[in-house]
């Protein structure tokens, strides 16, 4: 740091800056940025930060900022020299010769996007936060008669005045409905109802921008639009009656002329802070809403509106619903284009229209479980963050494709993933060569979205015969090779769905029924749509449920109990069923299996699963191993080594002769399955090897196991 600025800091101020610089070095990042300063401030000077910014939670903000640094989201660059210089200027404005820790804290918080509540009116020039920067505003604006709103609310009009809100693109019709409702004499409370991520909050922020510009009707000229989060009101209200006092104070202040409340997630006020219908937040709010004393904009989803608002007739009558539908891909492109231009300007990173259009198309095709414009904005911001982390000045199509595929869990290099899949299937002897090739050929087409019906699962596999026993291992291999993580598997046992109404145990109960709020395994599709679905014992469930499953594979989705779609289009489905096939293996390990008649197989599938579900199966996997598909290395690693470990604990050191290893390789390549291996160990091997166990605990015995004339031979010698 330059000598001038450091001389203008107190000793405590110098120590504070040194502390942050040392903290930054521990991260190993390429430049010192706002989020480094914010972490250093909140870790050591949390109470000071809370005193400078209204409604700031130091612990929560610290954790969120640390998470961002862990993801390389550093925020705008901010050197130690800049902090010292700005702190010195702030101290000079207050008539001080040296800048203290408090001056430095004010600089850090302002640069992080907060508005400081203290001082002589001096403020550090604000620069809009880049990716990774904080965008929360602790408002100091407003009259002295609204302390509760100032403490627990976020003044959106003040944020718009300072240029901290993104521009609103489109949504003119919904915005007009909100304005009209607010101009009413009674029931002037619009509630924005729509799916998560469609931009309900953006509409309210757009209204705040119009208020600041004066482009609103006379009744709304000069109003303050204050956003309230119910969870913020509840936080810290430990004493009985404390939340009720806060709500009463908030309602009293918001009832003054010129105040409009915005309550996001309005459904969360039902039952919050007291008994539903008497002392909860909703009950305190109702009288003022009914008399028209309070102007309130609310927002919630369709599900929560039906569940919480419509069920309370008195509360429902207070609001005027404004439906917010998901925009089309074309409309979304216009929205993200405006946001792209702003981010490009703030971060000096360029993204072409072609790349932006590809991101929107990708989100439309591969993120069906989320809504526009949120999913497109999310992809775009992740691309900008990736470019900033890599110090790139332009985002190309290849880079955007890599980021987008990684976000949704798609294989980044499909050909390499398919080669890895075939290699793993061969090494672990899970499928024969022809079956592995058929599976790879299927995924080569579907995972590129080039199949005739891309809405269907990428593959529907039916496991029968011996391969049923390998279902868990096969699912893990598919998840690891194709989706990058062996844990991306959702397993459901269909043998417990014995009645038609048991479909509720699969997709969830409808509203009003027992289990409506339960989370079921299949609901995990919302978080990991790119996964393996392992459906066990499908033949054992009720025929109605198999019919539901057949329709789901055909349509590419299942509707849950709340009427929300769960998309199967990005999954690989493994179904297992006990199907009696005509093909039989002759007695003996090396006898060739009889050929399987295709017509017989199809008839057996239809009889076991029903014609509709059987018709949705892409590949039937028997698990018959072909000659040469099992290696000697695999036999030693997966069969013999675990057996050796069991006996090593008993003092018996087993060595395996090539004669036995070669015999097992041949047996496995000719249909010797897992159950055959277990029977051989228990009935042929273990009874003989027990006779060679050491008689004393300290004794060690080395034993070589051979195969001669189809009989086991043990060669023993004492070992030190």
CA 629 to chain centre: 38
Q: What is the pLDDT of residues 94-108, one digit of tens each?
A: 777 788 888 898 999
pLDDT in tens, 451-492: 888 889 999 999 987 788 889 999 999 999 999 899 999 999
Task: Give 398's contacts (C-beta < 8 A, 6+ positions apart).
Answer: none
User: 282-311 burial string, b = 16+ CB within 10 Å, else e?
Assistant: bbbbbebbbeeebbbbbbbbbbbbbbbbee
Instruction: List strand residue ranges (DSSP E) for 235-387, in order.
Output: 259-264, 296-300, 320-323, 350-351
Q: How many CA atoms lie within 13 A of 508 on its CB side?
A: 21
Instruction: Quote the pTM value.
Output: 0.64
Residues facing residue 263 across a β-bridge: 228, 298
DSSP alpha helices (H): ranges in 610-685?
Answer: 611-614, 632-635, 641-648, 658-669, 674-680
Return the DSSP state at 192: E
459-463 and 572-576 beta bridge pairing: parallel
Question: What radius of gyration, in Å, describes the C-alpha atoms of the chain?
Answer: 33
Helix axis angle for 58-70 and 34-52, nearest 10°, is 180
Q: At what angle do helices 353-366 and 397-408 cross, to 10 degrees?
A: 20
Could you tell me whether strands 224-228 and 153-155 are parallel, antiparallel, or unpaired per DSSP bridges?
A: antiparallel
Query: What is the separation of C-alpha 626 from the centre of its chain, rounded to a whole number of angstroms?
Result: 41
Angle at 28 between CA 27 and CA 31, to 5 degrees: 100
Report the distance separating Cα 95 and Cα 92, nearest Å.
5
pLDDT score for 655: 92
* Domains along the chain with CATH numbers: 3-111 (1.10.1780.10), 147-323 (3.40.50.300), 329-408 (1.10.8.60), 414-621 (3.40.50.300), 632-719 (1.10.8.60)
Backbone angles phi, psi at 499, to 5 degrees: -130, 155
The pLDDT value recorded for residue 125 is 32
Instruction: Dihedral sign for Cα 23, 29, 31, 36, please.
Output: negative
Any idea what DSSP says for residue 693? S
Residue found by looking up tokens 């009656």 in the block = 241
Q: Which portions of the chain are predicted below pLDDT 70?
A: 1-7, 118-145, 238-240, 271-279, 512, 580-598, 623-630, 669, 671, 673-674, 718-720
- Contacts with 383 (C-beta within 8 Å, 6 or more apart), sequence order: 351, 355, 359, 395, 399, 400, 403, 404
């Amino acid at each position: 740091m330059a000598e001038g600025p450091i001389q203008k800091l107190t000793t405590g101020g110098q120590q504070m800056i040194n502390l942050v610089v040392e903290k930054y070095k521990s991260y190993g990042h390429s430049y010192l940025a706002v989020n480094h300063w914010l972490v250093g401030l909140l870790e050591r000077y949390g109470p000071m930060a809370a005193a400078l910014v209204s409604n700031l939670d130091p612990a929560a903000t610290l954790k969120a900022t640390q998470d961002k640094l862990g993801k390389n989201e550093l925020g705008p660059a901010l050197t130690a020299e800049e902090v010292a210089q700005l702190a010195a200027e702030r101290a000079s404005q207050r008539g001080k010769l040296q800048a203290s820790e408090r001056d430095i804290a004010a600089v850090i918080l302002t640069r992080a996007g907060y508005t400081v509540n203290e001082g002589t009116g001096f403020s550090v020039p604000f620069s809009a936060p880049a990716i990774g920067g904080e965008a929360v505003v602790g408002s100091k604006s407003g009259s002295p008669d609204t302390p509760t709103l100032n403490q627990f609310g976020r003044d959106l009009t003040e944020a718009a005045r300072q240029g901290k809100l993104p521009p609103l693109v489109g949504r003119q019709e919904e915005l007009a409905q909100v304005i009209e409702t607010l101009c009413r004499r009674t029931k002037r409370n619009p509630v924005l109802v729509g799916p998560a991520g469609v931009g309900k909050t953006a509409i309210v922020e757009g209204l705040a921008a119009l208020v600041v510009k004066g482009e609103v009707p006379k009744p709304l000229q000069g109003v303050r639009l204050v956003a309230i989060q119910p969870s913020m009101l509840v936080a810290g209200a430990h004493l009985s009656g404390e939340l009720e006092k806060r709500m009463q104070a908030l309602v009293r202040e918001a009832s003054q002329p010129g105040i409009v409340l915005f309550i996001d997630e309005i459904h969360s006020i039902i039952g919050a802070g007291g008994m539903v219908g008497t002392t909860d937040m909703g009950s305190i709010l109702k009288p003022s809403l009914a008399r028209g004393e309070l102007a309130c904009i609310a927002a919630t989803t369709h599900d929560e509106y039906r569940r919480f608002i419509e069920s309370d007739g008195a509360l429902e009558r207070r609001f005027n619903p404004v439906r917010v539908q998901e925009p089309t891909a074309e409309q979304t492109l216009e929205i993200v284009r405006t946001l792209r231009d702003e981010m490009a300007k703030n971060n000096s990173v360029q993204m072409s229209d072609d790349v932006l259009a590809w991101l929107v198309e990708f989100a439309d095709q591969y993120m069906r479980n989320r809504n526009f414009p949120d999913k497109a904005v999310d992809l775009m911001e992740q691309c900008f963050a990736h470019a900033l982390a890599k110090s790139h000045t332009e985002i190309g199509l290849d880079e955007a494709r890599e980021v987008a595929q990684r976000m949704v869990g798609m294989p980044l290099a499909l050909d390499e993933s398919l080669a890895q899949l075939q290699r793993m299937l061969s090494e672990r002897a899970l499928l024969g060569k022809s079956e592995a090739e058929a599976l790879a050929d299927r995924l080569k087409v579907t995972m590129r979205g080039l199949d005739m019906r891309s809405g269907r699962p990428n593959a529907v596999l039916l496991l029968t015969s011996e391969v049923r026993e390998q279902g868990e291992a096969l699912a893990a291999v598919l998840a690891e090779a194709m989706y990058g993580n062996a844990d991306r598997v959702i397993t459901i046992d269909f043998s417990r769905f014995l009645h038609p109404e048991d479909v509720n145990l699969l997709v969830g109960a409808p509203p009003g029924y027992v289990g409506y709020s339960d989370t079921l395994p299949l609901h995990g599709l919302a978080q990991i749509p790119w996964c393996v679905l392992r459906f066990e014992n499908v033949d054992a469930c009720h025929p109605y449920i198999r019919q539901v499953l057949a329709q789901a594979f055909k349509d590419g989705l299942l509707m849950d109990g709340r009427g929300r779609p769960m998309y199967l289009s990005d999954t690989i489905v493994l179904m297992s069923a006990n199907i009696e096939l005509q093909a039989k293996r002759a007695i003996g390990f090396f006898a060739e299996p009889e050929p399987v008649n295709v017509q017989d197989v199809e008839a057996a599938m239809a009889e076991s699963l029903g014609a509709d579900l059987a018709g949705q199966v892409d590949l039937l996997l028997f698990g018959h191993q072909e000659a040469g598909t099992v290696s000697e290395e695999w036999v030693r690693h997966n069969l013999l080594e675990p057996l050796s470990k069991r006996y090593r604990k008993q003092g018996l050191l087993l060595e395996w002769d090539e004669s036995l290893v070669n015999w097992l390789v041949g047996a496995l390549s000719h249909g010797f399955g897992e159950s055959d291996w277990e029977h051989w160990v228990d009935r042929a091997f273990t009874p003989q090897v027990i006779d060679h166990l050491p008689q004393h605990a300290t004794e060690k015995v080395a034993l070589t196991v051979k195969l001669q004339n189809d009989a086991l031979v043990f060669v023993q010698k004492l070992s030190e």
